[in-house]
Structure 1
Amino acid sequence: MGTPIAVRKAAAVVLSSALLLSLTACGSSTASDGIAELGTDIPAMAFNEAAAAQLPDSIKAAKVLTVAIPTNEPPTQFYKEGTREMTGSNPDIARLIGQALGVKVDIKVTNFDSIIPGMAAGRYDMTVASMTPTENRMKVLDFVDYLQMGNSIAVPVGNPGAITEEAALCGKKVGLLIGSYQLTANVPAANEKCLAEGKEPIQDSEFQDTRQAISALTSGRLDAVLADSPILDFAAKANPAIEISSQYDFTPVGVGLPIESGLVKAVSTAMVDIVKSDSYQLVLKKYGLDGSAIADPRVNFAQ
Structure 2
Amino acid sequence: MRLATPSRMIALLGAAVLTLGVSACSPDAGTASAEGGSGAASHDATDPTMDRYEPAAELLPERIAEAGVLRAAIPTNEPPTQFYREGTKEMTGINPDIARLVAGALGLELQIEVANFDSIIPGIEADRYDLTVSSMTPTEERMQVLDFVEYLAMGDGLVVQSGNPQQLGFDQLCGKKVGVLTGSYQLTVNVPVLNDACTAAGSDPLSIQQFQDTAQAMGSLTSGRSDAVYADGPILAYAATQNPGIEVVGERDLAPVGIGIGRGTGLLDAVKAAMDHILTTDEYRAVLESYGVGSMAITEANVNVPQ
Q: Classify the TM-score, shorter chain.
A: 0.7 to 0.9
Instruction: Tell me the CA shift for residue 108 of structure 1.
Output: 0.5
Equivalence for 1:257: 261
Aligned amino acid, residue 260 of structure 1: G
Instruction: Tell me the CA shift for residue 249 of structure 1.
Output: 4.6
Instruction: Tell me the CA shift for residue 122 of structure 1.
Output: 1.0
Asked whether 1:58 is paired with 2:63, we answer yes
Does structure 1 retain, via aligned residues, the 8 Å contact 2:156–2:232? yes
CA RMSD, Structure 1 to Structure 2 (Å): 1.7
TM-score, normalised with respect to structure 1: 0.86
Q: Tell me, in whole angstroms, the C-alpha distance in 1 between the residues paired with 2:163 and 2:190.
A: 25
C-alpha distance after superposition, 1:93-124 (max 9, x if no partner): 00000010000000000111110111111100
Asked whether 1:132 is paired with 2:134, we answer no
1:1-303 alignment runs, 5 A limit? 26-30=28-32, 40=46, 42=48, 44-165=49-170, 167-303=171-307
Does structure 1 retain, via aligned residues, the 8 Å contact 2:157–2:236? yes
TM-score, normalised with respect to structure 2: 0.85
Aligned amino acid, residue 102 of structure 1: G
SS of alignment partner, residue 251 of structure 1: strand
Does structure 2 retain, via aligned residues, the 8 Å contact 1:74–1:234? yes
Distance 1:70 1:118, change over 3 A: same
Runs of 5+ consecutive residues of structure 1 not aligned to the other structure: 1-23, 32-36
Q: Tell me, in whole angstroms, the C-alpha distance in 1 between the residues paired with 2:262 and 2:78.
A: 24
SS of alignment partner, residue 204 of structure 1: strand
Does structure 1 retain, via aligned residues, the 8 Å contact 2:195–2:206? yes
C-alpha distance after superposition, 1:150-171 (max 9, x if no partner): 2110100011222232x32111
Runs of 5+ consecutive residues of structure 2 not aligned to the other structure: 1-25, 34-42
Q: Tell me, in whole angstroms, the C-alpha distance in 1 between the residues paired with 2:185 and 2:155.
A: 10
Runs of 4+ in 1 over 4 A off after TM superposition: 37-42
Instruction: Tell me the CA shift for residue 25 of structure 1.
Output: 5.9
SS of alignment partner, residue 303 of structure 2: coil
Does structure 2 retain, via aligned residues, the 8 Å contact 1:152–1:232? yes
Instruction: Tell me the CA shift for residue 125 of structure 1.
Output: 0.2
Equivalence for 2:16: none
Percent identity, aligned pairs only?
A: 54
SS of alignment partner, residue 124 of structure 1: coil
Aligned amino acid, residue 196 of structure 2: E
Instruction: Tell me the CA shift for residue 38 of structure 1.
Output: 8.3
Q: Tell me, in whole angstroms, the C-alpha distance in 1 between the residues paired with 2:214 and 2:266.
A: 33
